[in-house]
Chains A and B, each alone.
Chain A
């Protein structure tokens, strides 16, 4: 019996086939799930009733046809953001409610101070959810716009950027604390006040 010259080679030609089989299996079973969304904190059920001055309220109504009424006037969806920004940033307050960082027109019939300004979002029961989310998105976009502006002025950095760095687990403890303080400051300047009154049937 002669000794074998070499170990017989394993044929690797079918490796591709096996890999393909697995690949197709994972392709079929994959569903890339969404894990992003608009964050919102609901008001407490036994929340205190706060009385607001009429001028500090911007009421947005969505009717069942997906039409928008802001303070009872119909408006196109592309104008929501601008309207909300103008309202929040109006800064028409005097004396103790003066807003020194606001860049609005300081009208007497619009909000006094971003801290007092409330956006009331109402939707009828038949309103489509997609439209509602689009409006929510625009309102949040308006707040983010103002927050970014102030963050850029004070810290030379976007608010949204600071926020994402703050949430990132790779950021160091020290930086996190620093961002935390800055974020709190900005949030105090432009707090998000979106409320939803009870929905009415038509």
Chain B
């Protein structure tokens, strides 16, 4: 018994930190790969709704994004809290949607122009009036493929 305790008290084993950099690097690489550097800053609140019956947008180069939502807090005092459309990085009027989408299509290489998808990233608290106006505009210019971008999750969570 005596011998036993003596042996353990002689030296406490040191915790090796040699593998710490490896662990940190692993995390680092994970975040480096999943990071998407945003080209535009969101000026609207954009909490997407949930859905289960979803499809992945495969080719990012064929996607045109339209953000809709209430203006974020720093614009509240000027713009109020009615939902707004954001194209690129600025607020836009409903009449600007069609020219914007057309110009974005023009910028794409010829062979993908026919397959362009408009991704509607709409805050779940926005109202349908604005969305239906946008859809009307898109129909006018024949950009008919749309994608209501959502998160994956229980759709009934949207109803509260």
Contact = CB atoms under 8 A, between A and B. Distances in A.
Interface of A: 12, 15-16, 19-20, 22-23, 26-27, 29-45, 62, 66, 77-78, 123-134, 136-138, 140-141, 144, 163, 167, 169, 196, 199
B134 to A, nearest CB: 10
Interface in B132-156: 132, 135, 138-140, 142, 144-152, 155-156
B135 to A, nearest CB: 6
**Main DSSP-derived SS at the B contact region:** mixed
17 contacts: A16-B17, A26-B35, A34-B151, A34-B152, A37-B148, A37-B149, A38-B148, A39-B146, A42-B139, A125-B127, A126-B129, A127-B127, A128-B158, A130-B125, A134-B156, A137-B52, A169-B58
Interface of B: 17, 20-21, 24-25, 27-28, 31-32, 34-38, 48-58, 60, 68, 117, 119-129, 131-132, 135, 138-140, 142, 144-152, 155-156, 158-159
Given A35-B57, A37-B54, A136-B148, A199 B128 contact: yes
B128 A16 contact: no
Contacts of A12: 21
A199 B129 contact: yes
A29 B31 CA distance: 9
Given A23-B24, A129-B122, A131-B159, A37 B51 contact: yes
